[in-house]
Structure 1
Amino acid sequence: MNTENRVSPQAPEVEEAIIGACLIEQEALPLVADKLRPEMFYVVRHQLIFAAMMAMYQAGTKIDILTVKEELARRGTLEDAGGAYNVTLLSSKVASSAHIEYHMKIVHEKYLRREMILGLNKLLACSLDETMDIADTLVDAHNLLDRLEGEFGHNDTMRGMDALMTDTMKEAEARMAKSVNGVTGIPTGLADLDRMTSGWQNGELVVMASRPSVGKTALALHLARSAAMAGRAVVVYSLEMQGERLADRWLAAASEISARHWRTGTASGQEMVEARAAAAELARLQIHVDDGLVVSMDHVRSSARLLQSQNACDLIIIDYLQLCDMTTGQNNRNREQEVAQATRKAKLLAKELNVPVILLSQLNRLAEGHIDRRPELSQLRESGAIEQDADVVMLLYRPALSRIVTDKESGYQTDGLGVVIVAKQRNGETGNAYFHHNPELTKITDYVPTLEYLLKHAK
């Protein structure tokens, strides 16, 4: 045996015990058939024998020493598998299949360790090769971890109905225990939206979409601040705006300073006093901002996982989808496929970390073609997968930007009216949630209808 064989993680005797058990007991192979593959065995002879047994199992053929020998001969691999004598010898290595599941875990772990060694050695070589694109190497690193984690979990997510019902009832009881006025998730900071969604729910992907300059980022910052004020840890990935510009908006929203004065450097002494007080209050909030120049979904996943390990990630906000780095290393993908993959990764991230992910997105120009510019689901830009993967889709609308105002909104002060159209909610109702904003879109609050509106629509 050479040096490489001696250092590679392996358990040949355990492999022999598994194959021997499958040869002598018909009940053995079904216990490992969905968890082991031929390539997971280290010894080539064992790979060939197990591949033959798996083919027989899938074909419904009875498995014993004689039939396995025949299958190997038919495949032309009997000699490479050690001949008929080796197959017979393996059947004598074990008395029963009593410990086959434990043996399976050992073989599976050794395989994962070998794959990890091979993958990390390849990544090391790529890291040392300065002609290799570092972005491609990072993508390969993420893909390696994803594959290994997927292999490690194999079938651990399978639950019987008894376990599922127990887990469901525990979740329902926990939901009832933490419910505050019907809000069971992370508060949105808007009464209408809280009523419709019950707050942001763990594991859900929320897509908030609009045309440019309608207020996606302003509303997202309000949602982030509201969640942080409720004691939750928020992570904001800002692909469009520098972190300091986001802070400008938070300061304006948390104080009475004029956003225009702040932007032009003409803030009064009193406004600066208010700004410093607001900055001190905001500094206490658990919000992290990543405003890197190039941010991919793989970067978001890696960063968010690290923060969650530090108990610093209860809500993720990404602003916005179309600016994400779509580099996949696959040149044959079109833009729609790349956006679909990014959206899918956002949904998987929400499930993996069990936190809400709010993903901002743009609408296409079809929204501007409508006489009232009211957005619709069909206008989600570049991919129908956005709607498919999202648990909640919110379309942002400002009637003041429209050419007409509907009768329902005719009594509102439309200059400060914002509408969140909940166009899709997998686990709840759809409809409109109203909010009020100041002209500079820095301060967002619940909308209170005017007296004229209430009188006009009084029954």
Structure 2
Amino acid sequence: METQITTGQATVDDIKIENDAIADGNISQPAYRQQPHNLEAEQALLGAILVNNEAAQKVQDFLTPDHFYEPVHGRIFDSVLKLMDKNQIADPVKLKPYFDHDEALADVGGASYLVRLAASAATIINAEDYGRTIYDLAIRRHLINIGEEMVLDAYDAPIDEEASEQISSAEKRLFDLAEMGQAESGVVSFSKALRMAVDNVETAFKDPDSLSGVDTGLKSLNEKIGGMHGSDLVILAGRPAMGKTSLATNIGFNAAKKHADDIAAGVNPEDSKGAVVCFFSLEMSSDQLAARILSDRANLHYEKKHSDDYIQSHKMRQGKLTQDQFIAISRAAIELEEVPLFIDDTPGLSIAALRTRCRRLKRQHGLGMIIVDYLQLLRGSAKAGGSENRVQEISEITRGLKGLAKELHVPVIALSQLSRQVESRENKRPMLSDLRESGSIEQDADMVMFVYREEYYKEKDQPSEGSPEHDTWRAEMESLYGKAEIVIGKQRHGPVGNIQVAFDKSVTRFSDLAPEDHLPEMME
């Protein structure tokens, strides 16, 4: 009995029959598929550049040597740019010594190929169109490569890797492709990094407020840190009731309001000192956070009848408002409608899901700042379960947030709780060692800020009325009333120290503290 060898669903005999049919011409053989490219466009563009180097200036902002399908074309383009950087004319004669021994160029005629390129030149007017064609085809090739890698990764995924992680990885590669035109940013020459650094210095020098980052809305804080900088992970920490959520909300709203005002004034979005902000509120609901901001802004439209007459968010929820207060709230709501502030109150959000949502906002709305309230409520990849691996999970989260800041080139402000050991010592001013799981948080952070209100602790130490200590306590309380400190415990790019600010707990608002010698004079 003859035995058949099977491969999948087809037998060897079936394959032989099919091959015979293809040889007889009865079945069409699948055509070989090449990745999309246009060698003629590459030749025409290089020819135009060799004839007139000004053509390179039309495409060098978006086109790189890696975008050329033919590697030798990429090397020619790179050599042209290097000669132009030296203020030299790049033509076939100048380039000939660099390509005399190029093996790839020898296959198409050697250095004389450069002359043939110049002969087939497109006009300088068409140079940008040819460049865009080459760029678009390069993006398509990158897209094909990403798709193939996604398929292979899905087939060969390790047993302990979740599908959500693969989705996040694929989305990152697609996002990078959409933002930068290639799947990986690659290495950057020192000269290019130096130019970017000088541009940042020039921007700060020309700015009247000397800001190189996003405006926090607090002049005293801006002077200390220069604003919130892209790619930085900022940890904002404090014990409960210190006001860290309020400070983060103030900074986020001020940045979004500044961005809206700049756009309304006709400022280029890239030149704005504000930012489109996304606030991930894992503790408070979105309407509670919005109510806080609304009550704060409404008080600016409301003329108080007495010193304690505030529009407070809890009164708004209870409906305990006067007609004038309701009108002020309505005016504030109209003012806030155009502020580019997004709130996500999804509980138990994972770091992978947070990355996905931020990439989408960056692509759709030009996201410029991320705030997470608070870090310990985020989830890791769920590989490390149990309390013994909590430190490992926090390390993964902080690394993920730092990576997100660099990837999107935006500041990420992550709130963090402090350990209870603060309460057990006499001096309750926070320190870096008070951070929970401080090893990873302190290490990954570019800046660590603490919120500290001595008034809060002094209020708890109230002695009995009528005692000799009570007068001293009252005098100290008066000196501390409405004051808070922002303690800069770590800053990679600047000094550390304390900043005195004002805090109005009635409306949860931080503001600059007026110097004592600039207080308004009392009316007689």
Counterpart of 1:349, as a letter, is L
Give 3-state SS (helix, strand or coil) of 1:247's partner: helix
- Is 2:473 aligned against 1:420? no
Counterpart of 1:142, as a letter, is S
Give the TM-score of the pair, scaled to structure 2: 0.60
Counterpart pick for 1:186 among 203, 214, 217: 214
The verdict on how the C-alpha distance between 1:336 and 1:99 changes in structure 2, with shifts beyond 3 A counting, is farther
Q: Which residue of 2 aligns with 1:435?
A: 501
Q: Which residue of 2 aligns with 1:172?
A: 201
> How far apart are 1:169 and its partner, in Å?
2.4
Counterpart pick for 2:234 among 180, 190, 206: 206
Give 3-state SS (helix, strand or coil) of 1:325's partner: coil
Q: Write the deviation string for residues 237-271 of structure 1: whole angstroms up to 9, x where unpaired.
A: 10000001001110121122421432432111111
> How far apart are 1:227 and its partner, in Å?
0.4
Q: Larger radius of gyration, structure 1 or 2?
A: 2
The verdict on how the C-alpha distance between 1:411 and 1:196 changes in structure 2, with shifts beyond 3 A counting, is farther
Q: Which residue of 1 aligns with 2:311?
A: 258
- Is 2:404 aligned against 1:349? yes
Contact 1:411 1:450 in 2 (8 A): no
Q: Which residue of 2 aligns with 1:35?
A: none
Contact 2:243 2:508 in 1 (8 A): no
Counterpart of 2:311, as a letter, is S
Structure-2 separation of matches of 1:190 and 1:413: 21
The verdict on how the C-alpha distance between 1:383 and 1:99 changes in structure 2, with shifts beyond 3 A counting, is farther
Q: Which residue of 2 aligns with 1:365?
A: 420
> How far apart are 1:441 and its partner, in Å?
5.0
Q: Which residue of 1 aligns with 2:163?
A: 137
Give 3-state SS (helix, strand or coil) of 2:195's partner: helix
- Is 2:246 aligned against 1:222? no
Contact 1:119 1:144 in 2 (8 A): no
Give 3-state SS (helix, strand or coil) of 2:501's partner: strand
Contact 2:384 2:393 in 1 (8 A): no
Give 3-state SS (helix, strand or coil) of 2:333's partner: helix
Contact 2:235 2:445 in 1 (8 A): yes
The verdict on how the C-alpha distance between 1:369 and 1:168 changes in structure 2, with shifts beyond 3 A counting, is same
Structure-2 separation of matches of 1:372 and 1:342: 30
Structure-1 separation of matches of 2:143 and 2:337: 46
Counterpart pick for 1:118 among 152, 156, 167: 152
Contact 2:311 2:507 in 1 (8 A): no
1:368-407 equivalent positions in 2, closer than 5 A: 368-403=423-458
Structure-2 separation of matches of 1:9 and 1:240: 53
Structure-2 separation of matches of 1:233 and 1:380: 29
Contact 1:234 1:312 in 2 (8 A): no
Give 3-state SS (helix, strand or coil) of 1:334's partner: helix
Q: Write the deviation string for residues 115-149 of structure 1: whole angstroms up to 9, x where unpaired.
A: 222335689xx9xxxxx99x943233214555888
Give 3-state SS (helix, strand or coil) of 2:395's partner: helix
Greater CA drift, 107-116 or 288-297: 107-116
> How far apart are 1:111 and its partner, in Å?
6.2
The verdict on how the C-alpha distance between 1:371 and 1:263 changes in structure 2, with shifts beyond 3 A counting, is farther
Q: Which residue of 1 aligns with 2:92?
A: none
> How far apart are 1:343 and its partner, in Å?
0.5
- Is 2:353 aligned against 1:325? no
Counterpart of 2:167, as a letter, is A
Structure-2 separation of matches of 1:428 and 1:169: 17
> How far apart are 1:208 and its partner, in Å?
0.2
> How far apart are 1:109 and its partner, in Å?
8.4
The verdict on how the C-alpha distance between 1:143 and 1:429 changes in structure 2, with shifts beyond 3 A counting, is same
Structure-2 separation of matches of 1:276 and 1:312: 28
Give 3-state SS (helix, strand or coil) of 1:218's partner: helix
Unpaired stretches in structure 1, ≥5 consecutive residues: 12-94, 127-131, 455-459
Cα RMSD of the aligned pairs, angstroms, is 4.0
Q: Write the deviation string for residues 17-67 of structure 1: whole angstroms up to 9, x where unpaired.
A: xxxxxxxxxxxxxxxxxxxxxxxxxxxxxxxxxxxxxxxxxxxxxxxxxxx
Q: Which residue of 2 aligns with 1:53?
A: none
Structure-2 separation of matches of 1:229 and 1:106: 38
Counterpart pick for 2:510 among 436, 439, 444: 444
Percent identity of paired positions between Structure 1 and Structure 2: 30
The verdict on how the C-alpha distance between 1:389 and 1:98 changes in structure 2, with shifts beyond 3 A counting, is farther
Give 3-state SS (helix, strand or coil) of 1:374's partner: coil
Counterpart of 2:454, as a letter, is P
Q: Which residue of 1 aligns with 2:287?
A: 244
Give 3-state SS (helix, strand or coil) of 2:426's partner: coil
The verdict on how the C-alpha distance between 1:182 and 1:240 changes in structure 2, with shifts beyond 3 A counting, is same
Give 3-state SS (helix, strand or coil) of 2:316's partner: helix
Q: Write the deviation string for residues 304-349 of structure 1: whole angstroms up to 9, x where unpaired.
A: 1111112331111110000012233345871001101101111111
Contact 1:9 1:113 in 2 (8 A): no
Contact 1:252 1:442 in 2 (8 A): no
Give the TM-score of the pair, scaled to structure 1: 0.67
The verdict on how the C-alpha distance between 1:167 and 1:274 changes in structure 2, with shifts beyond 3 A counting, is closer
1:226-305 equivalent positions in 2, closer than 5 A: 226-231=254-259, 232-256=275-299, 257-259=310-312, 260-305=314-359
Q: Which residue of 2 aligns with 1:158?
A: 187
